[in-house]
Homo-oligomer: A and B are copies of this chain.
Amino acid sequence: MHTDGIEVTTGPLGQGISNAVGLALAERHLAAQFNREGFPVVNNTTYCIAGDGCLQEGVASEACSLAGHLELGNLVVLYDSNGIQIDGSTKLGFTEDVLERYRAYGWHTLSVEDGDDDLAGLERAIAEAKAVTDRPSIIKVTTTIGFGAAKAGTASVHGAPLGEEDVAAVKAKFGFNPEEKFVVPAEVAELYRKRAAEGARRQEEWDALVERYKAAHPDLYAEFKRRCLEGVLPDDWASALPTFTPEDKPVATRKLSEIVLTALAEKIPEIMSGSADLTGSNLTRWKGAVDFQAPSSGLGDYTGRYLRFGAREHGMAAIANGIACYGGIVPLVSTFLNFISYAAGATRLTALSELRVIYIMTHDSIGLGEDGPTHQPIETLAMLRATPNYLVFRPADGNETAGAYYAALRQTRRPAVLSLTRQNIPHLAGSSIEAVLKGGYILQDSKAPTGKPDLILIGTGSETSICVDTAKHLSEKYNLHARVVSMPCTNLFDEQTVEYRREVLPDGVPVISVEALSTFGWHKYAHHPIGINTFGASGPYSKLYEKFGLTPEAISKKAVAIAEHYKTTPVPSLHHEF
Which residue from chain B places its CB closest to the CB of A559 in the assembled complex? B578
Interface centre among A275, A521, A528, A533 (most CB of B within 10 A): A521
B56 touches A58 (CB 8 A): no
A86 touches B278 (CB 8 A): yes
B374 touches A93 (CB 8 A): no
Interface centre among A58, A338, A527 (most CB of B within 10 A): A58
Tell me the residues in window 526-564 of chain A with beta carbons closer than 8 Å to chain B beta carbons. 527-528, 533-535, 558, 561-562
Residues of B within 8 A of A388 (CB): 378-379, 518, 533-535
- Which bucket holds chain A's interface residue count? 35 or more
Say if the beta carbon of A523 comes within 8 Å of chain B. yes
B278 touches A87 (CB 8 A): yes
Q: Of B56, B315, B374, which one neighbours A352 at CB under 8 angstroms?
A: B374
From A7-15, A30-38, A227-235, the one touching the partner chain is: A7-15
**Known interface pairs A106-B96, A345-B339, A562-B578; A312-B58 also in contact (CB < 8 Å):** yes
How near does chain B come to A348, taking the closest CB pair, in angstroms? 6
Q: Of B57, B520, B523, which one neighbours A312 at CB under 8 angstroms?
A: B57
B93 touches A104 (CB 8 A): no
Say if the beta carbon of A40 comes within 8 Å of chain B. no
Which residue from chain B places its CB closest to the CB of A371 in the assembled complex? B11
| A578 to B529 alpha-carbon distance, docked (Å) | 12
From A138-146, A437-445, A569-577, the one touching the partner chain is: A569-577
Which residue from chain B places its CB closest to the CB of A382 in the assembled complex? B386
How near does chain B come to A339, taking the closest CB pair, in angstroms? 7
From A245-253, A303-311, A427-435, the one touching the partner chain is: A303-311
Residues of B within 8 A of A60 (CB): 58
| A473 to B66 alpha-carbon distance, docked (Å) | 58
Residues of B within 8 A of A94 (CB): 65, 69, 310
Q: Of B92, B314, B576, which one neighbours A291 at CB under 8 angstroms?
A: B92
| A94 to B352 alpha-carbon distance, docked (Å) | 30
| A382 to B69 alpha-carbon distance, docked (Å) | 37
Tell me the residues in window 1-51 of chain A with beta carbons closer than 8 Å to chain B beta carbons. 9, 11-14
Residues of B within 8 A of A524 (CB): 523
Say if the beta carbon of A328 comes within 8 Å of chain B. no
Which residue from chain B places its CB closest to the CB of A10 in the assembled complex? B374
Say if the beta carbon of A383 comes within 8 Å of chain B. yes
Question: What 0/1 readout, one digit per residue, does chain A (268-286) give for beta carbons within 8 Å of chain B?
Answer: 0000000101111100000
Q: Of B57, B93, B101, B562, which one neighbours A308 at CB under 8 angstroms?
A: B93
Question: What 0/1 readout, one digit per residue, does chain A (54-91) give for beta carbons within 8 Å of chain B?
Answer: 10111111100110110000000000000001110001
Which residue from chain B places its CB closest to the CB of A562 in the assembled complex? B578
Question: What 0/1 readout, one digit per residue, does chain A (256-298) give for beta carbons within 8 Å of chain B?
Answer: 0000000000000000000101111100000000010100010
Interface centre among A52, A57, A62, A91 (most CB of B within 10 A): A57
Residues of B within 8 A of A308 (CB): 87, 92-93
B100 touches A104 (CB 8 A): yes
B87 touches A96 (CB 8 A): no
A103 touches B100 (CB 8 A): yes
Residues of B within 8 A of A523 (CB): 521, 523-524, 576
Question: What 0/1 readout, one digit per residue, does chain A (349-376) give for beta carbons within 8 Å of chain B?
Answer: 1011000000000000000000111110
A386 touches B59 (CB 8 A): no
A93 touches B58 (CB 8 A): no
| A570 to B572 alpha-carbon distance, docked (Å) | 9
Instruction: Give 5 CB contacts A-B under 8 Å.
Output: A11-B372, A65-B96, A92-B310, A387-B518, A520-B521
